[in-house]
Amino acid sequence: MVNSVKRTYAVLLIVAFSLLVILPVALPSGVSAQTNSYTISQVDHQVQVMYSGHIVILDTIHVSGQVTDGFMIGLPYKYSADVLKAIAYDDTHVYQMNFGIQFGNSTGFYGTTVDFNGNTPSVFTVAFVLSNNLITEQGSGVSSLDFPAYPSLAKDVGTCNVTISFPSTPTSLTVTKDDGTINDAVYTKTNLPAYTYAPATATFQIPAGTLQLITISSLNRQINIGPTGKVTASDSYRIINNSTSLMDSFVMSLPPDATGVVVNDQFGTIGASLALSANGEILLANATFTTTFLAHGQSSLLTAQYDLPSATLQGGNYVLSDFKLYPNFAYYVDQATITFTPPEGASIVSPQASALDSSSTLTRQIFQDTLAITKSGLSYVDYLAPQQNAIQLAFNYNPVWVSFRPTFWASLLAVGACVAVFFVRRHNPKEETYAQKTVRLSNLEPTSTSAQQTKKPELKTGQPVSADNIREFIDAYEDKKQLNAELKSMDAKAQKGKIPRRQYKVQRQAIGTRLAGIDRNIQRTKEIFKGATGSYGDLVKQLDLAEEDLEDAEENIKNLESRQSKGEISIEAYKGSIGEFQKQRDKAESAINGILLRLREKIR
């Protein structure tokens, strides 16, 4: 009986084992059919060294047949710690990638899979961004690059075309790999086996300054839009030198339509040469440090300020069209933040808060809306992928807001001045207040003979005024206001000893030269306006009167502050008199802003 049971168990085990062996071969398997349903005819393996020393590996894969989810691609495991980012994409989609996957039955690989989400592309690209730790400086301008000579795939490849590129053409290059040593940045391999494990080394030498081993920990790009639609930008970089040599320059990537570029480091303005990239997609600003160089491990904050094309009026809203969020950066940025700040009182109507993802934040305050967009791991790979790379920013704005703040402060100062005068007269009725009489030219009657003799010749009327004349005048006037504000800020810093006297003189002279050129352009356009038909002549007269009032008010405030600091008048007299001049100044500034807005409305 026992032997019969044993024989029965033995027969059952033999049958079960036979089924396990025969069924996978005899029956069609869905998984096996998917695995064997495509072939890889070609891979373009591009190894690109960025300006910051980071490595980008772009594998463009050409498949025949039915490619499915779970497409496997890997790297030799020695590079796993250097993988900063990886994305897969084709002409229309960006695909999800899964990392740390077992790479078939092979060991020694860092495996990843691509999830096509039901799509079946015939050509797609997998991009790996690796750290700049793979570049080793050997001295005398010679460096070595550790990289995978070929891609690691789960299928054989018919043809593999390899290209190695650097920020500039190397003067010498030696590529050492298992299948031979070459002195060329381009090579080809046919019948590349699956699960190829091929670390390689490229020893190269390129011109000094074209490769900087750096870490850019943060980039903050601030986009400010003025009441007239003028757009100004500020890019702040926090950079760390990873090189063993001193770092004396840095090349910033700015929008190609940036103008009026000024670069500053922690010690003030520094020189920067500008040039468009070969493809015309980037304005390169090569900033050279003038005070201190960065040693290994040291960091610095660099800021580039520049102007961009103005926002346009469309259907009652100001619109900033097709603003590129992810420029074609030639370096890797750990964390980038782009903040859009429209003028005070504006309300952002596009994009809607409901349409924003987790990387964007729309903040609505009482008087100010801001839109902030963050991005981790930013490089030109994001520019290559077909993801959302532009924003359509629209906001509505009431021009009355231009005069809101000046009117508010003027009213507040007026109330304060009245209260101060009341207490001064109550406690010291004999104290005389200091006030210099200001006379508006509009109140003077040109009856004297001398006034008629000094009068300018009458302009010929009927001259045409183009939209370009108006636009150039407004832009020039805004530049003049900004430069005057910079002068005031610089004067205040110089008085407090925050900037060296020599640097102050050089910067003030440079700004003064720019102001002189802008004033000439403004006066030339004014003459055109004065000779034109319509209301342009009246607007210029109003603008001249407002400018004279503003100049008088600022001169009076300056004189009053000087006398008070010297002790020529008491603090009570100073407080009782300065309010009137500040009110005059604010009223003149409000009038100037209103005139500029009226000119802006003529070119809508």
> Which of these ranges, 20-34, 40-54, 317-331, 333-347, has the smallest mean pLDDT?
20-34
How does pLDDT run across 145-179, given as a tens digit for each residue?
A: 999 999 999 999 999 999 999 999 999 999 999 99
Pair of tokens at residue 363: 């903040």
pLDDT at 110 over 90: yes
pLDDT at 407 over 70: no
- Of the residues 179, 205, 231, the one at which a domain ends: 205
Asked if residue 454 is part of any domain, the answer here is no
What's 186's domain CATH number? 2.60.40.3650
Residue 458: the pLDDT is 46
Residue 572 burial by Cβ neighbours in a 10 Å radius (0-12, 13-18, 19+): middle
**281 shares a domain with 188:** no
What's 340's domain CATH number? 2.60.40.1730
| The most confident of 167-176, 368-377, 480-489, by mean pLDDT | 167-176
**246 shares a domain with 172:** no
When pLDDT is cut at 50, 70 and 90, the band that residue 406 belongs to is low
Give the H or E element holding residue 501. helix 501-530
Give yes or no for a contact between 397 and 549, defined as CB atoms under 8 angstroms apart. Answer: no
C-alpha span between 513 and 311 (Å, rounded) = 28
**393 shares a domain with 405:** no
- Of the residues 346, 379, 397, the one at which a domain ends: 397
Residue 430: the pLDDT is 43
Of 222 and 227, the structure prediction assigns the larger pLDDT to 222
When pLDDT is cut at 50, 70 and 90, the band that residue 405 belongs to is low
- 167 closest CA partner among 326, 84, 52: 52
**229 shares a domain with 195:** no
How does pLDDT run across 187-207, given as a tens digit for each residue?
A: 999 999 999 999 999 999 998
**246 shares a domain with 111:** no
**302 shares a domain with 418:** no
Residue 490: the pLDDT is 80
Asked if residue 439 is part of any domain, the answer here is no
Asked if residue 324 is part of any domain, the answer here is yes
Q: Which residues, including other chains, have CB under 8 Å from residue 557's CB and lie 6 or more apart?
A: 578, 581, 582, 585
**144 shares a domain with 233:** no
**265 shares a domain with 186:** no
How does pLDDT run across 10-59, given as a tens digit for each residue?
A: 555 554 555 454 444 334 333 333 344 889 999 999 999 999 999 999 99
**Separation in Å, CA 123 to CA 39, 43, 90, 536:** 12, 10, 7, 60
**64 shares a domain with 78:** yes
List the 249-254 sheet strands across, edge first.
249-254, 283-288, 272-276
| The most confident of 213-217, 223-227, 537-541, by mean pLDDT | 213-217
| The most confident of 163-167, 308-312, 364-368, by mean pLDDT | 163-167
Asked if residue 446 is part of any domain, the answer here is no
**63 shares a domain with 136:** yes
Residue 557: the pLDDT is 82
**520 shares a domain with 500:** yes
Residue 181: the pLDDT is 95
Domain extent for 61 = 38-205
| The most confident of 31-40, 434-443, 474-483, by mean pLDDT | 474-483
Asked if residue 1 is part of any domain, the answer here is no
**258 shares a domain with 136:** no
Asked if residue 254 is part of any domain, the answer here is yes
At residue 381, φ and ψ (nearest 5 deg) are: -60, -40
C-alpha span between 602 and 488 (Å, rounded) = 32
Residue 375: the pLDDT is 87
Residue 399: the pLDDT is 60
Residue 556: the pLDDT is 85
Measure the N-to-C terminal CA separation of the chain; round to a whole number of Å. Answer: 105
- Of the residues 153, 178, 205, the one at which a domain ends: 205
**Which residue reads 């430069």 in tokens?**
483
Asked if residue 450 is part of any domain, the answer here is no
User: How many structural domains comprise the chain?
Assistant: 3
Asked if residue 445 is part of any domain, the answer here is no
Alpha helices, DSSP H, located in 351-403: 380-384
Q: What is the DSSP letter of 122?
A: S
When pLDDT is cut at 50, 70 and 90, the band that residue 421 belongs to is low
List, in sequence order, every residue forming a beta bridge with 360; answer none if it has no partner. Answer: 373
Mean of the pLDDT values across residues 311-335? 84
pLDDT cut 70: percent of the chain above it: 82
How does pLDDT run across 51-99, given as a tens digit for each residue?
A: 999 999 999 999 998 887 889 999 999 999 999 999 999 999 999 999 9
